[in-house]
Amino acid sequence: MTAPFAPFEWMIAWRYLRARRAEGGVSVMTWISLIGITLAVFALIATLAVRAGFRSEFVDTILGANAHVTVYSSLYVTDSGQTTRAITDYDQLAENIAKIPGVTRAAPLIKGQILANLRSRNTGVEVFGITLENLKTLPGIADSEVAYGDIENFANGIAVGSGVARELAATVGDRIKLISPDGVKTPLGTSPRVNVYEITYIFSAGRYDIDRTRIYMPFAEAQAFLNKEGRADEIEVMVRDPEKVDNYAVQLLETAGERALIWTWRDSASSFLRALDIEDNVMFIILSILVLIAAMNIISGLIMLVKNKGRDIGILRTIGLTEGSILRIFFICGASVGLIGTLLGTILGCLFAIYIDPIFGIVDALAGGGVWDASIRNIYHLPAKLEFRDVMSAVGLSLGLSFIVTIFPARRAARMNPVEALRYE
């Protein structure tokens, strides 16, 4: 009795695969199944890589320019009878929060929406009041890939997003006018507050919506300009492991006091992250069906191969080959198609993910530009990130389906009666 998958079984299977169609070799359906599996695996890996790239890019830009956790106050009534959310003991609160294990930074923050003007151009912006030391700890701002000016001069002016600068046609050194509706209260009503500030730093956080709306102003100046002296709007908290930010919730609430509320980066991006997860699952199912359809073509090709090789099967059974040997020979034929197609698809998918920027550049050039609109997608390029788990899931799915569908025609070949196969020879 021969061992399973003996050398002669591989030799016979290889001869069948290599034989020309006129000699009863592989059919057109086999080539179609090979190409189909290649393209399906390529599409699956490319889609998973783009999805992983989108999530990574989105999270990186969020964490690079925003707080991991925002601590703010619930609404309360002051001694004068006014309702507010202001934090008056912000320095002490930030110091206490910074002592929590795992917290890397806690900084008071002022926020407000105003109008920016330069010459005849106007645009609505959001002002963030922050100290220079805390601004330099934001990697998306301080370590911006596209930056102009010197962040060290922040105390002498303001830092603006590249989108704001583009809307105002402003450059470093220009003096822009900022107009706040919450100005000086007079008997005739509230008079808007207007100040002029020099742009000392222009940054790109990597997200269109941030670059298009955000201006950073020195903390004390923001307090005065936005009429918020002696208070802060919130405490911006950074933690060592942002992916486990929920683990810090209890300690933050206990430290911040009974009026404290928290808002994590996951809360702000929850809808988008859920959409990515749903899209990931749906696309994996759809592309898995494509892989299954391509693998089903192996059955058609293998059935035709079995039909063409009926005489050979009869002779092999007559000279002593067992049903198991015949099954394994044709299993090798079908599985080889799946294996080769999966290998080619994996190579193409990985190359696409690695060289996505030049490939997309060619597509954009052929389309005449404007294929990618950052104002809609909020990031400036199509990202892709190869993850070993995604590649292995695509490879495992393709090989698994290819091997399973191959069993049925291989069993049919093994159970063929040698007498019937040779009756008319």
* DSSP for 367-411, written as a single string: TTS-SS-HHHHSBSS------HHHHHHHHHHHHHHHHHHHHHHHH
Q: What is the mean pLDDT of the chain?
A: 82
CA–CA gap between residue 158 and residue 172 (Å, rounded): 10
Q: How much is the pTM?
A: 0.71
- For residue 243, is pLDDT > 50? yes
Determine which helix (DSSP H) or strand (DSSP E) holds 72, and give its type and residue range. Answer: strand 69-73
- The angle formed by the CA atoms of residues 394, 328 and 346, to the nearest 5 degrees, is 20
CA–CA gap between residue 51 and residue 58 (Å, rounded): 11
Question: Which tens digit of pLDDT belongs to each residue from 319-336?
Answer: 777 777 777 887 888 888
CA–CA gap between residue 140 and residue 158 (Å, rounded): 16
- For residue 372, is pLDDT > 70? no
Average pLDDT rounded to a whole number, residues 144-162: 90
Residue (of 328, 418, 339) closest to 8 by Cα position? 328
CB 204, CB 211: distance < 8 Å: yes
The DSSP bridge partners found for residue 263 are: 70
Give the chain's largest Cα–Cα span.
113
Least confident of 19-28, 92-101, 343-352: 19-28
Retrieve residue 275's tokens.
């959409």
Average pLDDT rounded to a whole number, residues 198-223: 90
pLDDT of 23 reads: 47
Q: Is 188 buried (19+), middle (13-18) or exposed (0-12) by CB count in 10 A? A: exposed
- For residue 421, is pLDDT > 60? no
Which residue would you say has higher pLDDT here, 7 or 152?
152
% of the chain with per-residue pLDDT over 90: 27
pLDDT of 219 reads: 94
In whole angstroms, what separates CA 95 from the centre of its chain?
35
pLDDT band of residue 158 (cuts 50, 70, 90) is: very high
pLDDT band of residue 111 (cuts 50, 70, 90) is: very high
CA–CA gap between residue 161 and residue 116 (Å, rounded): 12
Question: Which tens digit of pLDDT belongs to each residue from 289-327?
Answer: 888 888 887 777 777 777 776 677 677 767 777 777 777
3-state class (DSSP) for residue 193? strand
Strands (E), 78-169: 83-84, 103-118, 121-130, 148-149, 158-161
pLDDT of 404 reads: 86
pLDDT band of residue 420 (cuts 50, 70, 90) is: low
pLDDT band of residue 185 (cuts 50, 70, 90) is: low
pLDDT of 3 reads: 63
Residues in the chain: 425
Which residue would you say has higher pLDDT here, 75 or 172?
172
CB 230, CB 181: distance < 8 Å: no
Retrieve residue 349's tokens.
């998918």
pLDDT of 418 reads: 63
- The angle formed by the CA atoms of residues 138, 139 and 143, to the nearest 5 degrees, is 125
- For residue 371, is pLDDT > 60? no
Strands (E), 168-324: 175-186, 189-203, 214-218, 234-239, 260-264
